[in-house]
Structure 1
């Protein structure tokens, strides 16, 4: 509830897209709530927020929990707000496909001077709406290859939790939404108010945009040469670079690098890189509508036939059949859920 006796320092419109992720949405909103007043009464004194939708009703999150819309797009006066924060859906491809529905609203907000914030896969929606031209953008590390393939002219700002680029702001998602909220609130309300409530949220400190995730580094604790090689593999997944060139980048011989990978991963450099690429392709088949040709490009396969040979050898089925089987399985589960719900 907003306190009408005091004008907020900053005003937010929060727009959750269909199948949005609860973690960044809840973290961002709760940080606003703690900063909102001196105590813990959720009063909107120093900052205010409104949950926006194209229409009234509820928006379903990726986990099935629903959030109620406070105001529809045709009710709000956009110019009265400082930020429009858009929370992306579970699938990057599905979020990108929402562009025809949301383009008018987003462009209208931008034209009226509202700063646009894309969190998680909302970056795909912004790009599809033509709102990132000339801007750098941060996306979740898992979706970097997919974003580059879809929007090769938009520059990615890698290894960042969030990025402020004038009137376009982006955030990788997850708990980084809390860090972004702290940064935006600091600029409007001051650092003391912005940091308020972090201890209640059991957050040790606000992380900077440049913070490096120790959890990602912990995935590959096998020596600096192996760590470096795996990091380069992720960056060059779509290239035709081979293991020999990779060893040159790392600075040791191919034989030495193979020995290190055999010791830590139980396979050669080439086998590890192939496994990484095929697991990426498998994940993309499950979580995007991209064509096989585009997925082949993402992992450096020469063409769809090359992708199919590699995929069948590893998983025992073709990429097309795998996608069809998984989608059919998901549809059966959804149908069962609907039947149980009706009962």
Structure 2
């Protein structure tokens, strides 16, 4: 009976946003579940959690599966919780647009000294609400250029799974949410309890925030120098950096860098970087409502007209036509 009266080490509010990604939500929640009890009974002893929503009912994920809301803001005292974990989804612009609806709740949580955790694109919502000023943030690699262009005064930490910066914590999403959960639990419950259940989840080990994802092309494909160069290309996508700058940072000559890219991809490093920018533009056109001018800024092209010209040459269609053709297929997603 004594265990029933234990005060939990940590208390979490989980806030899934409309269209949230189910993978990080499920991974984070299941890690709490395994740590919360001595066995696999899902009891909330050593940590507690509730699903929060701005209104009662359900929140639908990007996959169409829905999660039931346990509590609404009127039913809680934010001061009773340690973390408010906000789960974003695929569309950064749609997440930003939620600021008027969620801003008051997030601002009040910050006032009550609740630590705010952004998962995946939820960092766009916190930034739109002015809650990341003076803090560093980790952004999913696919949205890093978009975030830098939208919030140039907020430092972005590249090549990390998550970042703990005082009362603001950010995570790139996906399975990295499990790694972040382990780290937060370890700080309050100890490493042994934090690691509990990973084997049941078929997770080999907890990864550090600095872990490099091996499935990324810049890590797996063509060796250390090329991998480092591609990482810099993503980081410098909107910058005025040159290929000479790139080669110097990587630590080899420009000619050697081109030889390595030719061997791996059949094109020079410069051509690879140009194609990366155009593929980023394609993805943004299909997954946001932002103007071509704004997207051009993200890839360091000052002239949207020139971007449209090279885009058509690369993909055989204009940016406007691509976006128009994709809209019926996207539906609510």
Normalised-by-shorter TM-score class: over 0.9
**Partner in structure 2 of residue 340 of structure 1:** none
Secondary structure, counterpart of 1:214 in structure 2 = coil
**Partner in structure 1 of residue 229 of structure 2:** 229
CA distance in 2, matches of 1:155, 1:196: 34
RMSD of aligned Cα (Å): 1.9
Give how far 1:244 is off.
Answer: 4.5
Secondary structure, counterpart of 2:216 in structure 1 = helix
Give how far 1:257 is off.
Answer: 3.0
- Mapping of residues 184-203 of structure 1, within 5 Å: 184-203=184-203
**Partner in structure 2 of residue 5 of structure 1:** 5
- Mapping of residues 83-94 of structure 1, within 5 Å: 83-94=83-94
**Partner in structure 2 of residue 120 of structure 1:** 120
- Mapping of residues 215-294 of structure 1, within 5 Å: 215-216=215-216, 220-294=220-294
Could you tell me which runs of 5 or more consecutive residues in structure 1 were left unpaired when the two chains were aligned.
Answer: 336-343
Could you tell me which runs of 5 or more consecutive residues in structure 2 were left unpaired when the two chains were aligned.
Answer: none
1:32–1:303 CA distance, 2 compared to 1 (3 A): same
**Partner in structure 1 of residue 77 of structure 2:** 77
Q: Count residues in correspondence.
A: 331
CA distance in 1, matches of 2:117, 2:90: 17
State the TM-score, normalized to the length of structure 1: 0.91
Pick which of 246-255 and 13-22 moved more.
Answer: 246-255
1:183–1:253 CA distance, 2 compared to 1 (3 A): closer
Q: Deviations over 1:111-132 (max 9, x none)?
A: 1121111111000000000000
**Partner in structure 2 of residue 136 of structure 1:** 136
1:188–1:135 CA distance, 2 compared to 1 (3 A): same
| Mapped contact 1:36–1:48 kept (Cα < 8 A) | yes
Q: Deviations over 1:120-170 (max 9, x none)?
A: 100000000000010111111111111100000001122221111111111
CA distance in 2, matches of 1:250, 1:69: 49
1:40–1:329 CA distance, 2 compared to 1 (3 A): closer
Give how far 1:219 is off.
Answer: 5.0
Give how far 1:252 is off.
Answer: 4.0
Give how far 1:261 is off.
Answer: 2.1
